[in-house]
Amino acid sequence: VIKCKAAVAWEAGKPLSIEEVEVAPPKAHEVRIKIVATAVCHTDAYTLSGADPEGCFPVILGHEGAGIVESVGEGVTKVKKGDTVIPLYIPQCGECKFCKNPKTNLCQKIRITQGKGVMPDGTSRFTCKGKQLYHFMGTSTFSEYTVVADISVAKIDAAAPLDKVCLLGCGISTGYGAAVNTAKVEPGSTCAVFGLGGVGLAVIMGCKIAGASRIIGIDINKDKYAKAKEFGATECISPQDSKKSIQEVLVEMTDGGVDYSFECIGNVGVMRAALEACHKGWGVSVIVGVAAAGQEISTRPFQLVTGRTWKGTAFGGWKSVDSVPKLVTEYMSKKIKVDEFVTHTLPFDKINEAFELMHSGKSIRAVLKF
C-alpha cells in the first residue's frame, strides 16, 4: 500500500480537499501509476457540482493525466514498471463487439463498473481516514498514485513532456478527432465552432489541419478570439452582437450555411443553432459538448429531411490504446499543437485555484504538477 497526496471530493458542491490517501496495490489486470501531471476539465467540475447522475462521493476526480507505471498486477502484458503512460477514460479491450467494429471507439468492457466508481472487480483501491473513496472515469488522476484497468492505459514515448501530453487524455484529442474523424472535414470547406474553450480550439486546429478554408469561431467571451485566431480561426463572432439568431447570421455570412459545425459547450440550445447553421443538402453538425443529464435536443425534422446530418462524438472517435501514442508522436513531430493550450501551470496543492481559473474563463487548460 502506498500513502500519498490526493485531492478528495468529500461531497458535491464543496471545494476539493488535499488529503493523505492509501492506494492499494494493483490486482490482476490492473496497473498502478505515479501521476506526474494532471489537468482540470469541465467534466470534473460537472461531477463535482452534483449534477452528474453517475457521480458518487467521496471520490478522487481527474481524467486528464500522465505518469509512470509504478507496478503492475498479475497478467498485465502491455505495460511494465517504468513505462510512460496516459490513463484512458475510454478503454480499448480489443475483444468486445465495440472494439471489433471500426465504426466506434466506445469499448464497453468495463463500462458498468467504471460508471459506478469502482474497479472491474467491484472494489476500490483508495481509502482515506478509514473510508473507501470512489474512482472516477476509470482514471482518478487527482492523486499522486492511481490504479487503472490494464485496458485503460496507453504506453507513450518516454521523451514526451508529461505536463503537456496529459492534455491528450481528453480535451485536445476530443476536439481534434471531432474534426478529422467524426466530421471528416474536407479541404476548402467552411466550418463553424461554437465555444472557444480547450475543446473548441482543438476542433479549430483539426479543421485547419484538414484544410478548411474558412473557420468561424463563436463565443460570447471576446477575450477568447485572439487565441482562436492563433489556432486557425479566420474570424470570430458573438451571438450577442446581432438581433438575429446566430444561425441566421451564419447562414447569411456563408451563402446558405456552413459545411461543418461543432458544438463544444454542452448547451442544447446551441446544439440546435449549430445544426441549423449548416448548409442545406450536405451540412454536418457534430455535438462534442456534454449537456447536463436529462436535457433533450430539438429541431424541426425538415432540417434533416433537407439533407443536414446531426452527429455526436466521444473522445474524438479515437480508439484509445491504438491512437493516443500516435497523437503523442504527432505532437512530438509538431503536427499538432499541445503547449499552446496550457495557459497556467500550478503545483498540485493549488487545484481549487485551477477550477476557479476554468470557471472564470481565464484559463484554457491549467496543468497541475506533483
Residues annotated as catalytic are: 41-43, 63-64, 93, 96, 99, 107, 111, 170, 365
CA-wise closest residue to 88 among 141, 26, 21:
141
In the chain, how many H helices and how many E strands?
12, 17
CA-wise closest residue to 198 among 221, 216, 218, 173:
173
What is the distance between the alpha carbons of residues 366 and 343, in angstroms, rounded to a whole number?
Answer: 6
Query: In angstroms, what CA-CA distances link 302 with 256, 276, 280, 298?
Result: 16, 10, 10, 12
Q: Contact at 8 Å (CB) between 225 and 196?
A: yes
Instruction: Report the SS3 class of residue 193.
Output: strand
| Grid cell of 366 as nine digits | 491549467
75: left (phi over 0), alpha (psi -120 to 50) or beta: left
What is the distance between the alpha carbons of residues 27 and 208, in angstroms, rounded to a whole number?
Answer: 44
| Grid cell of 201 as nine digits | 480550439
Residue 263 pairs in a beta bridge with 194, 287
CA-wise closest residue to 325 among 150, 175, 81, 155:
155
Q: Find where cell 447536463 sits.
A: 292
Is 268 exposed, middle or buried (CB count within 10 Å of its CB: 0-12, 13-18, 19+)?
middle
Specify the amino acid at residue 201: L
The alpha-carbon radius of gyration of the chain (Å, integer) is 20
What is the distance between the alpha carbons of residues 137 and 126, in angstroms, rounded to a whole number?
Answer: 14
| Grid cell of 216 as nine digits | 468561424
What is the distance between the alpha carbons of residues 358 and 366, in angstroms, rounded to a whole number?
Answer: 8
